[in-house]
Structures are given as C-alpha cells and as structure tokens.
Amino acid sequence: MAWRDLRQFLEHLEARGDLLTISAPVDPLFELGAICRWFLDRGPNHALFFRQVAGHQMPVVANTLATRERLDWALQIGEVPRHRFVLDRWQSTVEPVRISGAPPCQEEVWEGEAADLRRLPIPWHNVEDGGPYISMGILIVRDPDSGVHNLSYARVQVKGPQVGGIQILPEKHARRILERYQAAGQPMPVALAIGVDPVLSLAAAASPPWGVSEYGLAGAWRGEPVEVAEARTVPILVPAWAEIVIEGRIPPEAVEQEGPFGEFTGYYGPAGPRNRLEVQAITLRQNAIFQTLYTGLPICDNHIMQELLRSAKVWDKLRQSLPNITAVYCPPEAGNGFTVWIALKKRHEGEPRQAMLAAWTAFEYVKHVFVVDDDVDIYDARQREWAVATRVQADRDVLIVPRLIGMALDPSAQGQWGAPMRLGVEETPRTLKAGMGIDATRPLGVNYEPVVRVPESWMRHVAARLPELLGQTTPDG
Ligand SMILES: Cc1cc2nc3c(=O)[nH]c(=O)nc-3n(C[C@H](O)[C@H](O)[C@H](O)COP(=O)(O)O)c2cc1C
Ligand SMILES: [Mn+2]
C-alpha cells in the first residue's frame, strides 16, 4: 500500500522509532535550523517533529528523508536493489486521479488578506540566509502548450505577507514553462505544495524527460495513482492530501531581490534579482504540518534523495547504448551529481569514453566521471580509491572536455559564464562546466596480475569457525 500522505509516513517512522518528537519550544529563527544540522551530523539521525514552534500553533517536520533507510521505507523497496527499483519504473507512468468532493488539502482556506505567509511557521535556517525560506515547497506548474504538470522544488524567500522571491534555475523544466508564459506576456499560475507523501516528494526532486509529469512518475513508484484536486484559484491540479497548498502567480516581468540561501553545494547561493511569487490563497488540512528541509554541507535530505535519483538518471541514459553497465553511483558527499562513478564489463576500448560523454550530457551537474571495471564495488570508497590508484595513467586515461552546459550554483564555475541569456526578469548567466573523465578500467589485452582475494569458500570456512575463533565455544562444542 502506497503512503497516502505525509502523516501516514510519519506514523510509520514513529512506529519504527525513527521519528524524534521535540516537545520543548523551539525558535524558527536559527534555532530550528541548528537543531536540524546537529541531528544530521551528530545524530541520532532521526526525522524531527517540532511540536512547539515559537509564535505558531502549527508543528514543523524536518530531516524526513535524510537517511537511506528512511528513503527505502518511503519507496517501500523491500529486497529489490534500490537503484533497480527506481530505474525499472523510470519509463512507465501511472497518471494521477481526481478525487471526488472537497479535497483534504482544502479543509481550511485562507483567501484575501488572510492568505498571509506569516501565519505559517516558516523557519530562517542559516544566519546568512536572506530571510525565512520555504525550502521544501513543490512548485507545480502546467505547460500551456501540452497541459502537462511539472513538479519540482524552488526555494521561496518570504518577502512580504503575500510576496515571495522564487529561484527557478536555468535548465529546469519550470524555467522553460515560465518562458512560454513570459513570451505571451502572461503571468504563470503556480501552486506550491508543502507536506506530501514521501514518494511524491522524491518524484519532485527527480527529473524525468521533458513532457513526462512527475505525477506520473510518482504513480509508477507508488504502484497507485497520486490523488489530485483542482486548486481553488489557479487552473492547476494539486496533491489532494497535501498539508498546505499556496496558490498564486509569477508575473512575467516583476523583479524581487532574493537570497542568499545556504545551498546543497555547501556554499551560499548568491542573492540577486529573481522572479516574484504573488500569493492568492493558502489552503490547508486541519491540524496541518509544515515541512522544511535543512540543506548545506552534505549530507542532508536532498543529497540522500539525489544519490538515488541522479544515479538512476545517468544509468537510464547510459543503458540505451551501453547495456554492459553494471552500476552507476553519484556519491552524496559530492553534492547532487557533480561526481559520477560508472562500473562496466568492458568489451571495447571505446566504451569508457562513450560512457563519459553520455554522463556529462545526462544533466547539467555532472563534471567528474570515473569509469571502472565491474569487479570494483563503486559503493565502497576504499575500492574507488584503490581502482584509481592502480588502474589510471593520467596521460592515457584522462579526458577533459571544456565548455559544456554547467550548473548555475557550482561555485567553482565562476568566470566560466557563457553569454548571459534573457530569462524573463533577469539576465541569467548560463554556467559553463568542464567535464573530466577518468578511465580507471584496465586496458584490454594488457596483462594484469590477478587481484588478491581470499576465495569465498575460505571466507565461509572462517564464518563457520567464528564462534570458536572468538573463544565462544570449544572444538567439542
Ligand atoms: C530540496 C530541494 C530544493 C531545490 N531547490 C531548487 C531551487 O530553489 N531552484 C531550482 O531551480 N531547483 C531546485 N531544486 C532542484 C530541482 O527541483 C530538481 O532539479 C528537479 O529535478 C527539477 O525538475 P525538472 O526536471 O522538472 O526541471 C531543488 C531540489 C531539491 C531536492
Ligand atoms: Mn520535469
């Protein structure tokens, strides 16, 4: 059974002892963020439920998907390898269904002046942030040409009771859709959903191909369609069981200063002129829960989500031409896919470079691509180091390709801007990246001495004798 909503998942976490309820009063100004950071780094790394947020009745949940275990429970992966689970359902979609009657997400409606962002317990996480931020709001927009719904995240800084500054990055689908409204001189209707079932949260972080709705992807992962409902003031279908939905519009030309914001890169994303989000209505469930996501230096929720999603995305692209790929891994420590590891059963000397080329173009973040033989366990940092140390000669095995489409928030790409392009309200620089590929596969036809491994049969032998070796039993029992 799929999770119907965030609440069901939180109940499950609580039953597993993986939800820490904090009943002591907590200040949303810096203190809540600091507590999130503490538990991410120093543990215990549970999901956090803040019951008493100063100045508010509404509770706040954080660190919800900050461990692999919680993500696996969210997806209900069971025994299936986690990358396979996501990948096998990547191409299929299960379209959402509309529920009949008034949706739970509209049990309470704030309209007119009552639609005031200050009524929500929106935290201000880091001292250098520009202000309080909605950090885990799912931006739902609709392509005016195809009608397809796109779900993704976009940080929103609270700038006034009904105004936010919203960052929609270059290369994102929401940006492409916004450009269409801007070209027509129309405001883009938007909905921002906060607090949904965790599989939908994950789907919004994923990037299925243009034209494929993240609603459909979530349905495939859930094994059941997502339930949706018409928003009240915008022509958009919203998740029926969302805790909170903010309805509004992004005018084509209005400029709002936004930032800085502590980003997934581990650096502050810079302040600048961004698009303005104008709030029209806020709808809520009774006893709504506000969800936030602390990000910054890895590893936070979004790094855990992207470890799985970006690996699957690269793998999906590679497998079309290289069926002999055996694993793809984007380590969460390296941000959200700046570094990719690929293992393959090499048959042709050209394959590692083919893999690099495909990986660099899979999405804009990918810079450093390591390709290894399939005997290397790329999920194990010791083996990754060992493979590079013993199978690479830099003059032969390193390929650098400059001036590819890069990621706007990569701080090392400063000075590598392409010509600014006009994306609506601002001149947005299009970042260039350099791809570096390191081929750590053994050359075909060159003699490599065997890898030193103790045979499995001997390891089983040791396992059988382990109690005795540990002095727990005598040979006679
Ligand atoms: C927690 C979180 C916050 C994010 N914040 C932003 C953001 O502020 N702006 C943005 O453009 N992308 C942001 N992203 C990245 C996009 O949501 C993500 O790349 C998504 O896959 C894009 O979807 P698309 O392929 O439909 O464009 C964020 C992702 C996560 C997980
Ligand atoms: Mn999309």
As for ligand 1, residues whose beta carbon falls within 6 Å of it are 136, 150, 152-155, 167-169, 172-174, 205-207, 293, 302, 305
140 Cα: distance to centroid of ligand 2 (angstroms): 10
Residues in the chain: 477
Instruction: Looking at the structure, tell me whether residues 262 and 124 fall in a common domain.
Output: yes
Residue 185 and residue 157 share a domain: yes
Reduce the secondary structure of 194-230 to three states and give it as a string: ECCCHHHHHHHHCCCCCCCCHHHHHHHHHCCCCEEEE
Task: Tell me, in angstroms, the distance from the centre of ligand 1 to residue 154's CA.
Answer: 6
**One domain for residues 273 and 322:** no
397: number of CA atoms within 13 Å, CB side? Answer: 18
64, 136, 168, 172: which to mutate for ligand 1, most atoms within 8 A of CB? 172
Q: 276 and 215, same structural domain?
A: yes
pLDDT values of the chain reduced to their tens digit, one per residue, 477 residues: 899 999 999 999 999 999 999 999 999 999 999 999 999 999 999 999 999 999 999 999 999 999 999 999 999 998 888 888 999 898 899 999 999 999 999 999 999 999 999 999 999 999 999 999 999 999 999 999 999 999 999 999 999 999 999 999 988 999 999 999 999 999 999 999 999 999 999 999 999 999 999 999 999 999 999 999 999 999 999 999 999 999 999 999 999 999 999 999 999 988 888 999 999 999 999 999 999 999 999 999 999 999 999 999 999 999 999 999 999 999 999 999 999 999 999 999 999 999 999 999 999 999 999 999 999 999 999 999 999 999 999 999 999 999 999 998 898 887 666 655 544 455 566 788 999 999 999 999 999 999 999 999 999 999 999 999 999 876 565
Task: Find out whether 382 and 372 touch, Cβ atoms under 8 Å.
Answer: no
- Rounded Cα distance between 365 and 244, Å, is 31
pLDDT at 424: 47
Is 292 exposed, middle or buried (CB count within 10 Å of its CB: 0-12, 13-18, 19+)?
A: buried
Task: Give whole-number Cα distances, 389 to 103, 220, 466, in Å.
Answer: 57, 41, 33
Atom of ligand 1 nearest to the CA of 208: 25
Can the peptide bond before residue 140 be classed as cis, meaning omega within 30 degrees of 0?
no
Say how many Å lie between the CA of residue 45 and the centre of ligand 2.
30
In a domain, 330, yes or no: yes
Helix (H/G/I), strand (E/B), else coil: 121: coil
- What three-state secondary structure class fits 381? helix
Q: Residue 54: inside a domain, yes or no?
A: no
Residues 130 and 254 reside in one and the same domain: yes
Q: Are 314 and 362 in contact (CB under 8 A)?
A: yes
**For position 226, which CATH number holds?**
2.30.110.10
Residues 227, 307: one domain?
no
CA-CA distances (angstroms) from residue 79 to 45, 72, 75, 82? 23, 10, 12, 8
Its domain, for residue 429, covers 301-440
**83: Cβ–Cβ under 8 A, 6 or more apart, which residues?**
308, 311, 312, 315, 327, 328
Q: How far apart are CA 167 and CA 272, in angstroms?
A: 9
Statement to judge: residues 111 and 238 lie in one domain: yes
146: number of Cβ within 10 Å:
12
CA 243 to chain centre: 20
For residue 204, the CA-to-ligand 1 centroid distance in Å is 8
Q: Is the peptide bond prior to 260 cis by the omega test (within 30 degrees of 0)?
A: yes
User: pLDDT digits over 331-362, tens only?
Assistant: 999 999 999 999 999 999 999 999 999 999 99
Joined together, the tokens standing for residue 43 give 């543990």
Report the domain count for the chain. 2
Report yes or no on 291 lying in a domain: no
Instruction: Decide if 295 is inside a domain.
Output: no
Each residue's pLDDT tens digit, 392-441: 999 999 999 999 999 988 988 876 666 555 444 555 667 889 999 999 99
**118 lies in the same domain as 249:** yes
